[in-house]
Amino acid sequence: MKSYKRQLCFFGVLLLLVMLPVYSAHAEEEKKEEDKTGAPYFYVESTEVNVDSFPLKKTNVIAEINGMIADIHVRQSYANEGNSPINACYVFPASTKVTVHGMQMQIGDQLITAKIKEKEEAKEEFEQAKEEGKSASLLSEERPNVFTMNIANIMPGDNVSIDLHYTELITPTDGIYQFVYPTVVGPRYVGPVLDDCGTRDEWTAMPYLPEGTEAKDQYDIHVNLSAAVPITELASSSHEISVQWDQNTKAAVSLADTSDYAGNRDFILDYKMTGQEISTGMMLNTSDDENFFMLMVQPPERFETEDIPPREYIFVLDVSGSMSGYPLDTAKELIKKLVSDLRETDTFNLVLFSGASVQMADKSLPASLENIQRAVKMIDDQEGGGGTELAPALRDALAIPASEEVSRSIVIITDGYIYGEEEIFEIIHQHIGDADFFPFGIGRGVNRYLIEGIAKTGQGEPFVVTQKEEASDTAERFKTYIQSPVLTDIQVKFDGFYVYDVEPSVLPTLFAQRPIVLLGKWRGEPAGSVQITGKTGSSDYVQTISIDNSAAVRMVNSKLPNQKTAQINSAEMKAAADLFGVNAAAVNDRFSNNQPSKPSEVSGVNTVLDINGAVQSSAKSDNQLVLAVSMESEVLSYLWAQKRIERLTDYGLSNDNPDVKAEVTRLGLTYSMLTPYTSFIAVTETVRNPDKNSKDVKQPLSLPLEVSNFALGGYLFGSEPGELMMAAALVLILLLQLPCVRRLLRKKTA
């Protein structure tokens, strides 16, 4: 008996020893396999002790928000603390609304300004520099909200800084301005590769730190907020913040607790402006080549009606692994409130999806108390697990028999952690007119590209819920929006003002109390009028704006101190200042006796109303103001080009169109912007790694806050053959120590 037991123990130990090197090799092989399939995976400590696996040390964000326009500078600091040269790859997010129009790379004393090039050309130049041993950096867009940074030949002891420059337009919704800076890319469910030759994009195949693992890098965010009127209700729902006030029109916002890692959830900053209703006004830019304008129109008051027709609602709820735990609990709170708010004349259905989908009933049911309770129980029974197959679930929802007598709304509730966004947009695009689509993003690091794309393609409104406490208010907003839109059937007509290339070309239904914003180009003189028409409730809406008498802010494209000036009536200028965030009191920060001060480190929209010495010492009357503008930042051209690219790419629906690709590429090169087809590239002139022995490193990412390991399948150990065999060997050895097993062995050998 003892001999038999010793043989089993020997076999178990031998199996364990044999599998240890197999497991180490498997970790490297797994990375290669994940790169092929595009699946995210858990980070495995490298067996190469001389390689720095965490080259990104710190991200520092500085956002200068002046009225509606945010000028954002991001510095990524890399260092190689190992003994081997490395090539680093880092995947990071951004807002879908930003325009990236600048990049610099600094290595020691070398400062290199990146050039914008066609994407494939930039990639080839980067690979050539990498092969030659030169240091280089390559910034590419994978999605409108996902970028990759690749850096070649970071030598041991190197400190490399990459500076990025963004611009973003911030418009208020229901009187609230919201600045969102995404910090982490959630793991994307990519599904199976469809054929033997098919591969997914490499950016999805990134390593993630397991839930609860402390991040290795630092994240710091500073926001300098400036307004023309007092700022109120400044708060962050995502982070603890510290605020330093300058009077009541300027606020410097920073993180209150720098030890609390900030890079695992979206940074969200909300604020209001005292006594400021959404104004109507126009901002103009003039230059030798092109003139740009931005028109903002105040929407009408919401028309509340009691005559609300019946409606059908189909709720599509994500119960996949990434939703497990807190996100699903939040989604449950939301959908219970949405279902409970239905009227008795409404009908509804429920589709739950993960790797497969299930629906509550074959056809939509009346919103009776009994059916609502049935839906609530079905929701409460969910725990979360499996893949995120949204496309089949959406097809199932659309296949539910519809009544021609009622309008249908499809409500999608998800964190958005999927790879195939374009497939979702295509499905929705094919069913325009059959239903409208209202997406709700759930969690601290929502895929806003998917959420906003569903709303845009599906003629709905996007919502984001980051925590349970927001569920009730968000459901109430949805109810208000869908029952009483602010403005429908919106049309715009210009008369006497020659405009072209106006974006957007079609204005969707205005559900929220949000300004209508138009960007475009103009020729001639700013004269004539703009007429906005639409429907508010059952009434016709007409608003006519006289351009020559409007509060037009003239932005002159010339360098200080020889800038041109424009004289505008003081009352009109005050209205324009309030609208676009120009603060006349800030004049001393930039000018003294009509001379420019040292340029700001952050070159945003340097708009200043010079009402001090320059005006008082001139012969001009007191009711005339001089507007002096430094156009070091061509902000309107960036904002216009971003809107044009958004329409042309049409959320991925036009990717196969060569004309679209050519035009988007031209826009990226013309305005020096990051696009799906253009990238920023910076290369050192000198060879820094003559041995050409650099190792490829993918910076491990943190899971978004409150997202569990189930987002990657949840298997930290035992998910692969090598790990399973190791586990089997350990279990065998342990089992042999149990008394019951010993007794069984005695009987076998007796």
Q: Provide the pLDDT for residue 200.
A: 52
Q: Is there a domain that residue 129 lies in?
A: yes
The residue among 455, 483, 511 that closes a domain is 483
CA nearest to 211, candidates 697, 720, 719, 716:
716
**CA 607 to CA 633: how far, in whole Å?**
10
Q: Which burial class, exposed, middle or buried, applies to 598 when counting CB atoms under 10 A from its CB (0-12, 13-18, 19+)? A: exposed
**CA 516 to CA 493: how far, in whole Å?**
13
The secondary structure of residue 176, as a DSSP letter, is B
Q: Token digits for 280?
A: 């109507």
Residues 160 and 263 reside in one and the same domain: yes
**CA 317 to CA 379: how far, in whole Å?**
9
| In the predicted structure, residue 107 carries a pLDDT above the cut 80 | yes
What beta strand segments (E) does 37-158 contain? 41-42, 56-66, 69-79, 86-93, 99-107, 110-113, 115-118, 134-143, 146-154
Q: Token digits for 605?
A: 């929209």
Q: Is there a domain that residue 214 lies in?
A: yes
Confidence band for 615, pLDDT divided at 50, 70 and 90: very low
The CA-based angle 475-481-482, given to 5 degrees, is: 90
CATH of the domain at 154: 2.60.40
Confidence band for 28, pLDDT divided at 50, 70 and 90: very low
Instruction: Identify which of 128-132, 633-637, 730-734, 738-742 has the greatest average pLDDT.
Output: 128-132
Location of structure tokens 């290595």:
107
Q: Is there a domain that residue 674 lies in?
A: no
Residues 742 and 723 reside in one and the same domain: yes
Residues 566 and 620 reside in one and the same domain: yes
Q: Is there a domain that residue 660 lies in?
A: no
CA nearest to 640, candidates 508, 505, 531, 484:
505
Q: Which residues pair with 116 in a beta bridge?
A: 680
Residues 604 and 738 reside in one and the same domain: no
Contacts of 524 (CB under 8 A, 6+ apart): 497, 498
User: Who has greater pLDDT, 714 or 232?
Assistant: 232
Element of type H or E holding 426: helix 421-430
Residues 124 and 197 reside in one and the same domain: yes
Counting every residue written for the chain, the total comes to 750
Residues 319 and 298 reside in one and the same domain: no
Residues 206 and 233 reside in one and the same domain: yes
Residues 324 and 232 reside in one and the same domain: no
The residue among 456, 483, 510 that closes a domain is 483
**CA 29 to CA 20: how far, in whole Å?**
14
Q: Is there a domain that residue 49 lies in?
A: yes
Question: Beta strands 552-556 and 281-286: pairing type?
Answer: parallel
User: Who has greater pLDDT, 720 or 87?
Assistant: 87
CA nearest to 181, candidates 142, 228, 220:
220
Q: What is the pTM of this model?
A: 0.83
Q: Across residues 16-27, what is the average pLDDT? A: 44
Give per-residue burial for 49-62: e unless 16+ CB within 10 Å, then b: eebbbbbbbebbbb
The share of the chain scoring above pLDDT 90, in percent, equals 63
Q: Provide the pLDDT for residue 732.
A: 58
Q: Which structural domain, as residue segments, surrounds residue 623?
A: 558-633
Q: Provide the pLDDT for residue 495.
A: 94
Q: Is there a domain that residue 530 lies in?
A: yes
CATH of the domain at 292: 2.60.40.1230
Q: Is there a domain that residue 659 lies in?
A: no
Residue 35 has φ and ψ, to the nearest 5°, of: -60, -35
Residues 402 and 464 reside in one and the same domain: yes
What does 315-353 look like in DSSP terms, one character per residue? Answer: EEEE-SGGGTTHHHHHHHHHHHHHHHT--TT-EEEEEEE
CA nearest to 466, candidates 595, 560, 327, 591:
327
Residue pair 604/64 in contact by the 8 Å Cβ criterion: yes
Q: Across residues 184-208, what is the average pLDDT? A: 73
Q: Is there a domain that residue 646 lies in?
A: no
Q: Which burial class, exposed, middle or buried, applies to 571 when counting CB atoms under 10 A from its CB (0-12, 13-18, 19+)? A: exposed
Q: Token digits for 555?
A: 């932005």
Residues 260 and 195 reside in one and the same domain: yes
Q: Which burial class, exposed, middle or buried, applies to 212 when counting CB atoms under 10 A from its CB (0-12, 13-18, 19+)? A: exposed
| In the predicted structure, residue 348 carries a pLDDT above the cut 70 | yes
Residues 479 and 340 reside in one and the same domain: yes
Q: Across residues 8-12, what is the average pLDDT? A: 54
Our count of domains for the chain comes to 5
DSSP tally for the chain: helices H, then strands E: 14, 39
Confidence band for 201, pLDDT divided at 50, 70 and 90: confident
CA nearest to 327, candidates 195, 443, 183, 439:
443
Residue pair 697/43 in contact by the 8 Å Cβ criterion: no
**CA 679 to CA 669: how far, in whole Å?**
9
Q: Across residues 597-612, what is the average pLDDT? A: 28
Residues 467 and 497 reside in one and the same domain: no
Cis before 327? omega within 30: no
**CA 709 to CA 431: how far, in whole Å?**
35
For the stretch 244-301, pLDDT in tens is 999 999 999 999 998 899 999 999 999 998 864 556 778 888 888 899 999 988 888 8
CATH of the domain at 406: 3.40.50.410
Location of structure tokens 């700022």:
231
